[in-house]
Structure 1
Amino acid sequence: MPGDYETALDAAHALALAWLQTMPTRPIAPVLTIDQVKDRLGRDLAAGGAPAGTVVAQLADAVEPGLIAMQSPRFYGFVTGGTYPAALGADWLVSAWDQNASFRSTTPGVVAVEELAGDWLCELLGLPPGAAVGFTTGATSANLACLLSARNAVLRAEGWDVEQDGLQGAPRLRLLAGASVHGSLVAAGRMAGLGLPRLVEVDDQGRIDPDALAMVLAGEEGPAIVALQAGDVHSGAFDDFTRSIAAAHAAGAWVHVDGAFGLWAAASPSLRHLVAGHEAADSWATDAHKTLNVPYDSGVAIVRDPAAMTAALGQRAAYLPEGNAVPEPQDRTVELSRRARGVPIHAALRALGRDGVAALLDGLVMAARALADGFDAIPGLEVLNDVAFTQVCLAGPDDTRTAALGDWLRAEGTTWPSSSHWRGRAVVRFSVSNYGTDDQAVRQTLDAVRRGAQAVGIG
């Protein structure tokens, strides 16, 4: 086969190892701007080409100073995990194999891997065997795939065929969610044509009030979709699935669980109580690049009724392989062409095993609690949330100094939390998602926060 693969891949291998080996110690923030990276790359496309190995080496040299060290064990922004070695190696194979993982008959190798990964996920997450599993770009596209399935199924029960007639003239369909709903779910609802969700009252940690949900559902007639949450993005809190799902189903509503990072709690015996009752829902969305530490992109959409997912998302054309009694992978996502995203997920699960996944979850929660305890011991700082899972929200004596602390930490580079607002206050948010966040990383983080607090006049 033409092409200098050996030189290009040798260069990529060496450069990737150099990047990963410096991850535990390197400053987290990028040091170059977008314009500076463009200048280093060269803004004009040359008339002639360049050798593959040279292109790869020059790319790394120009781009790496503009990269943020998201894989650092002290990166706590955006609920972003690290990268397990087996998952990264599998991801490289996925790119080399270059399979369009949409049809069982044409790419049986990667489809077999993905189907196993889907079965394992349902088992680990306590979800119904036989549920349809789609591998998407991320949590937003997973939410979208589930909401499209929900929308069409709920309206079909009302006698309206969305696949044939579209949405114009359809019965009004309500989307309900807790007032602390994540923007990913909101965006997916908009793209599904459902508009903004009707917000339901929540408690001080962001958990939906099941009684308020029942009252809202009873107050208006018509079909409904209820979106619940496994892991509030600020507090990490979980909705009461048992009561909320019962209230929604009593009203005839479809229940979807947005569990981008929190659904994984089901895989740990010590954390499973957080998602009690979640298996009674109708669909679930999560993201393996967060808690499972699989490379981007690794969203997962799961729907209890495979026929509902196929009806909403499946495509048919004369040139495509004919469908049969077994649904195709392309019936599970909004794409007809996609890489085999489920392969790195399979590799991570295979490398960890059931016990390893549980240990990963338990370790993340232990690190979050250690950070919270350490923050509380720093004069002038307080943790605002109940640390039930992996989120820690920190605040100083006033919003100005809290915001300054977040800016100082990100500029200093030892750690990288995100700044936000929660419950009417500015916060510095730490999302513990990296399997490498060990005792040393916790100590380094606490030391940086202590120094930052002094630098901005806290304590």
Structure 2
Amino acid sequence: MDPDAEPVLDLVAKAAPGYLSSLAARPVDDAAARVLLDDLGGPLPEEGLGALESVGELLRIGTGAATHSSGPRFLHLVVGGVTPAALAGDWVTSLLDQNAVLWSSSPLATTAETVALGWLKDLFGLPAEWGGVLTPSATFANLTGLACARHWWAARHGRDVAADGLGGLPAMPVLGGGYVHPSARKALQLLGCGRDTVRTHGDGRADPAAIERDLAALDGPAVLIATAGEVNAGDFDPIDELADLARRYGCWLHVDGAFGLFAALSPRTAHLLRGIERADSVAADGHKWLNVPYESGFAFVRDPRVLGETFGSWHAPYLLAGEVDYSRLGPESSRRARALPIWATLRAYGRAGYRELVERHLDLAAHLGRLVEAAPDLELLAPVRLCVVCFRYRPPGVPEEELDTLNAALGEALLADGRVYAGTTVYRGHTALRPAIVNWRTTEADVERLVDVARELGVRFVQDAG
């Protein structure tokens, strides 16, 4: 093994500024550079090449062939770019190499997580007394909240599901609207509750009246899922009305706020989350609008005791933790100190910095919506509510029945072209583009370029078809 880390770490440190400063000019994806991926392969070397040469190779391949999703024109999925403070905090995380599960394994990491969770609750306007835990993703955050819901629900049937499992219990009723995300369904799948058991009421936003009729017919407690920030158009379920139903019928209300929870930061959008403080659990994701690295989800639970009842009691004496034990509050045991990038970015930019970020993205999304409405060959399919803009290419003279095929091809062409990244979805039966603006680097010029490139490629398709 190499005895001296300094040269190889210096190599990465020197490469980083040039790469980061190039992101604004680079294409998001350079298909020609994928030939570099071949250099990753080959047989496992019998004798290693050493750290300096190997990391140099990785930098050469990675800076060329990576999808440059930290850049300003990656508008696909919902992916933020890592802030400078969060990136540096992530380097510190790897440098210190902490196991952030027990106080006894890392007082630093567990304290940073406790502080970061407190700051996040403050940022989102959630009560300080709620429990919380950092997770690897929004999927795991949903898993955490819904696992607590399952524990709560089973207890109302007289069962400790953590100790005794689900055997003999009826199916847990889960109700929501048409916006329930696949990550919530996946969480239910992993929990043994069934991916397809969710009873949806409404094709889009949840219909409280229909949900109430279903609840009135149930014999026993249920779990409600509200979506804060639907992925195709940024819409919200009526959280306040669902909270009323949860109180009236004794339900657990889980809110999936993967990126929509950040609407709380702006007075312009905070009303969309009205009632969230009455939820029982809330899930969100940091690599989206918080602009921190991946593996940075967070789950909050109204009653902190339920987290411990759901994930605790390992019967492993060597894991006795002392002051803090996050292994008993979430689904992981060994875990990296993912709180450090969150702590660093919140410390660096504060509430005002993140409010400015969210409001700038709201402005960019509104600007993109206006550009779409002004273009004769584009059609806005949903009001611009947050940071997602849903639209399609609709040139004059193309029959309605051909538009889905045309827009699917346009989406593939945008990704292959690589100048701007925005994929397609199906929204209310129409194939559409749905760029999401959550990257701190994105500017007006970037969203204007998306419109220009989409129309350019669209015209090319129509001409070729003609």
Q: Do the two structures share a fold, i.e. TM-score over 0.5?
A: yes
User: Alpha-carbon deviation of 1:128?
Assistant: 1.6
- Larger displacement relative to structure 2 (18-27 or 399-408): 399-408
Q: Which residue, 299, 302, 315 being the options, matches 1:301?
A: 299
Q: Deviations over 1:5-61 (max 9, x none)?
A: 111111111233332121111111242698x55531241111111221111111122
Query: How many residues align structurally?
Result: 455
1:358 CA displacement = 0.8
Give, as a single letter, the amino acid of the residue that structure 1 aligns with 2:417: E
Q: Take 1:151 and 1:33, find their aligned partners in 2: how far apart are those partners?
A: 47
Correspondence for 1:322:
320
After superposition, the Cα gap between the structure-2 partners of 1:294 and 1:381, relative to the gap in structure 1 and judged at 3 Å, is same
Q: Is residue 2:252 matched to residue 1:254?
A: yes
Deviation per CA, 1:78-133, whole angstroms, max 9, x where unpaired?
A: 10001100000000000110000001233111211111110011111111212111
Whole-Å Cα distance in 1 between the matches of residues 41 and 433 of structure 2? 37
Partner amino acid, structure 1, of 2:42: R
1:29 corresponds to 2:34: no
- Structural mapping, 1:24-423, within 5 Å: 24-31=24-31, 36-37=35-36, 39-195=38-194, 196-202=196-202, 206-323=204-321, 327-397=324-394, 398-423=403-428
Whether the 8 Å CA contact 2:103–2:321 is kept in 1: the answer is no
Q: Structure 2 unaligned runs (5+)?
A: 395-402
Q: Which digits, 9 at most, give the CA deviation of each residue in 1:118-160, with x for residues without a partner?
A: 0011111111212111111100011001111110112112211
CA distance in 2, matches of 1:32, 1:164: 54
1:12 matched to 2:17: no
Q: Secondary structure at the residue paired with 2:462?
A: coil
Alpha carbons 2:174, 2:198 under 8 Å: kept: yes
Say if 1:378 and 1:457 are closer, same or farther in 2 by CA, change over 3 A. farther
Alignment of 1:439 onto 2:438: no
Q: Is the contact made by 2:2 and 2:50 (CA closer than 8 Å) also made in structure 1?
A: no
Distance 1:212 1:402 in 2: 34
Seen in structure 2, the aligned counterparts of structure 1 residues 268 and 237 have a Cα distance that, compared at 3 Å, is same
Q: Which runs of 4+ in 1 moved over 4 A?
A: none
Distance (whole Å) between structure 2 residues aligned to residue 310 and residue 216 of structure 1? 31
Name the stretch that deviates more: 215-224 or 239-248.
Answer: 215-224
Kept in 2, the 8 Å contact 1:268–1:357? The answer is no
How far apart are the structure 1 equivalents of 2:218 and 2:329?
Answer: 32
Which secondary structure state, in structure 1, belongs to the residue aligned with residue 232 of structure 2? coil
CA contact (8 A) 1:172 1:222 kept: no
Whole-angstrom CA distance in 2 between matches of 1:221 and 1:70:
48
8 Å CA contact 1:257–1:284 kept in 2: the answer is yes
Distance 1:16 1:201 in 2: 49
1:169–1:298 Cα change, 3 Å: same
Counterpart code for 2:304: P
1:327 CA drift (Å): 5.0
* CA shift for structure 1 position 201: 2.3
Q: Does 1:457 align with 2:453?
A: no
SS at match of 2:120: helix
Structure 1: segments with no counterpart, 5+ residues: none
Query: What is the identity, as a one-letter code, of the residue corresponding to 2:413?
Result: W
Distance across 1 between alignment mates of 2:30 and 2:311: 39
**Pairwise CA distance, 1:321:** 4.2
The one-letter code of the counterpart of 2:380 is V
The structure-2 alpha-carbon separation of the partners of 1:328 and 1:407, relative to structure 1 and needing over 3 Å to count, comes to same
Counterpart of 1:134 in structure 2: which amino acid?
V
Q: Greater shift after overlay, 92-101 or 372-381?
A: 372-381
In the alignment, the residues of structure 2 paired with residue 179 and residue 270 of structure 1 have an alpha-carbon distance, to the nearest angstrom, of: 25
Cα distance in 1, alignment partners of residues 456 and 2 from structure 2: 56
1:195-223 CA deviation, whole Å, 9 max, x = no partner? 124332236xx211111111121122222
Contact map agreement 1:313 1:333 (CA 8 A) in 2:
yes
1:230·1:260 contact (CA, 8 Å) conserved in 2?
A: yes
Q: Which deviates more, 311-320 or 114-123?
A: 311-320
Moved more, 315-324 or 362-371: 315-324
Does the residue aligned with 1:333 lie in a helix, a strand or coil? coil
Taking only aligned residues, the RMSD between alpha carbons, in angstroms, comes to 2.0
The whole-number CA distance in structure 2 between the counterparts of 1:38 and 1:457 is 34
User: How many Å apart are 1:241 and its aligned residue?
Assistant: 0.9
For structure 1, which segment, 258-267 or 220-229, has the greater mean C-alpha deviation from structure 2 after superposition? 220-229
- The TM-score with structure 1 as length reference comes to 0.94
Distance 1:327 1:113 in 2: 11
1:102–1:409 Cα change, 3 Å: same
The answer to whether the 8 Å contact 1:177/1:197 transfers is no
2:330 counterpart letter in structure 1 = T
1:272 maps to amino acid: A
Counting aligned pairs with the same residue, the percent is 37
CA distance in 2: counterparts of 1:39 and 1:415, whole angstroms: 25
Distance in structure 1 (CA, Å) of the matches to 2:357 and 2:10: 32
Indicate if the aligned counterparts of 2:264 and 2:270 stay in contact, CA closer than 8 A. yes
Report the alpha carbon displacement of residue 162 of structure 1 after superposing the two structures with TM: 0.7
Amino acid at match of 1:413: G
Change (3 A) 1:323 1:64: closer
CA distance in 1, matches of 2:158, 2:135: 30
Contact 1:242/1:278 (8 A) holds in 2:
yes
